[in-house]
Amino acid sequence: MFYIIALLIVIFDQLTKAIVLSNFTPPAVLPVFPFFNLVLVMNKGVSFSMFSSDAEWMPWVLTGVGSSITIGIAYWLYIEKNILIKTALALILGGAIGNIIDRIRFGAVVDFLDFHAFGYHWPSFNIADTMICIGVAIIIIQAIFSKEK
């Protein structure tokens, strides 16, 4: 069941990215709300564009590192017993696979959600990034408040 959740996240992530890619050309910006735009950003780095580089080998390094971590997450999901943690891991796994697919296809991750307020923009992100953050937040909260040792 949890691998199905991950698969559904990959499908939804790739579908939303396909819609954006078919309707936007950088640097297009579509204002949706006063605090939210749809954009098209090809992120060659990791979170918040860290380690962004035009070096031809960088996407492959990031894909390799991401794939290794994803394999570890998939194994953790397999052996984990806690349902809440399994759910969080499924979110992380689906998001990670979605972004790995982008790196393999485009050499960069497709980001398109742009939140801003008072002249400050949060770095653009996507559905995969959102699922990863939610999954990590669940694991952290569970670790802080869990009575299990």
Q: Which residues are catalytic?
A: 111, 129
- CA–CA gap between residue 45 and residue 56 (Å, rounded): 12
Helix (H) or strand (E) holding 121: strand 120-121
List the one residue out of 15, 5, 17, 16 whose CA is nearest residue 92.
5
List the one residue out of 93, 100, 95, 63 whose CA is nearest residue 78.
93
Start-to-end CA span in the chain (Å): 26
Helix extents (H) in the chain: 2-23, 58-79, 83-106, 127-145
Tokens of 40: 């098209």
